[in-house]
Copies of this chain bind each other. A is one copy, B any other.
Amino acid sequence: MEHFIRVYQLFSFYGQLLTEKQRLAVEWYFGHDLSLAEIASELGISRQAVHDLLKRAEQTLTAYEEKLGLAESYARRQEQLAKLDQLLKQLRDDEADPRWQQVFALLAELSK
């Protein structure tokens, strides 16, 4: 399961770099939990071809992460933003001050 989540997370960063067929297969297999047989019938290719497609896509996603590390820097940024959020909630003196509201709106934007 953890592996599924990992691949799907990498897909959210690098999905645009896959071929259309790879994208569909990954989306269906890792995102919507379709079986190899279902995807095979959907794409009009063999079960083995779907297997290869997914394997290749996974290798591509992993290779991009090794080179660009977007998932890693995203995780680090989320951690820093969570700390910032916690600190600022302690330091906030007046919840009604619109500037504080702007601060937390910006934090929410940055967490996307």
Contacts and interface: CB of A to CB of B under 8 A. Distances in A.
Given A83-B106, A87-B106, 11 more contacts: A13-B68, A17-B64, A17-B68, A68-B70, A81-B110, A83-B102, A84-B106, A84-B110, A87-B99, A91-B97, A91-B100
A88 interface: yes
Contacts of A68: 13-14, 16-17, 70
A15 to B, nearest CB: 9
15 contacts: A16-B67, A70-B70, A80-B109, A80-B110, A81-B110, A83-B102, A84-B103, A84-B107, A87-B102, A90-B99, A91-B97, A91-B99, A91-B100, A93-B93, A110-B110
A55 interface: no
